[in-house]
Amino acid sequence: MRLLGISGSQSSGSRTRTAVETALDATGEGVETDLLHLGEYDIVTADGRHIDEYEGDTAAALEKIVAADAYVVGTPVYRASYSGVLKNLLDMVPRGQWQGDMAPFENAAVGLVATGATQSHYLAIDEELRPVFAFFGAHTVGSGVYADGNAFADGEIVDGEARERLETLGSATVELAEAVDSGAALSSLEPQV
């Protein structure tokens, strides 16, 4: 199984990246993990073209998404929503319709992570991220994990509960992916519209 972590942050010392990596590190044997940290890619602005028409870093990022079996997606919360760089990337991911015949998120397990300065934006996971992945026909894992600024110090997670929740999210994403793969009904759901 290939589990891709997507960090929707452009910061080099990103708390979001740290949180996503913590989830990826807890997945265990038999799982190949990779990280797509958007701060390391020069992604062009989405303009509606077919997925095969992108080049450079944009094509490389999209290739990682297409090649993965499951995902842990994290974002810093800005203005009560997910980051613009993550939104831009998601605007390029095909959904099995006019933009490309691939649908990488369809019937895929997706663990959701958000980070923010305060607890004020913890609902961004359920109000912003979960609906986007429902649009793609993904299966999202549990309640996700929100970690505020108090969970981090010197680029590390210092809050034991936050670390444990992230580790559980990584393992749960793998378990859900396995259940989807082996379940006739779970693997046959797709976007309704």
Taking only the tens place, the pLDDT of each residue in 10-44 is 998 899 999 999 999 999 889 999 999 999 999 99
> Mean pLDDT across the stretch 70-96?
94
Distance, in Å, from the CA atom of 177 to the CA atom of 179, rounded to the nearest integer, reads 5
pLDDT of residue 45: 97
**Cα 69 to chain center, whole Å?**
12
| Residue ranges per structural domain of the chain | 2-188
188 or 181, higher pLDDT: 181
pLDDT of residue 122: 84
When pLDDT is cut at 50, 70 and 90, the band that residue 98 belongs to is low
Q: Is pLDDT above 80 for 64?
A: yes
> Mean pLDDT across the stretch 76-92?
94
Q: How far is CA 35 from CA 4, 24, 108, in A?
A: 6, 8, 17
Distance, in Å, from the CA atom of 120 to the CA atom of 79, rounded to the nearest integer, reads 11
> Mean pLDDT across the stretch 158-178?
97
> Mean pLDDT across the stretch 158-172?
97
pLDDT of residue 100: 62
Specify the fold of 2-188.
Rossmann fold (3.40.50)
Q: Is pLDDT above 90 for 137?
A: yes
pLDDT of residue 65: 98
Mean pLDDT for all residues in the chain: 93
Please tell me what DSSP assigns to residue 40. Answer: G
pLDDT of residue 101: 77
pLDDT of residue 191: 75
> Mean pLDDT across the stretch 141-166?
95
Q: pLDDT exceeding 70 applies to what percent of the chain? A: 97
How many Cβ atoms from other residues are within 10 Å of residue 161's Cβ?
11
CA nearest neighbour of 25 among 157, 135, 136: 157
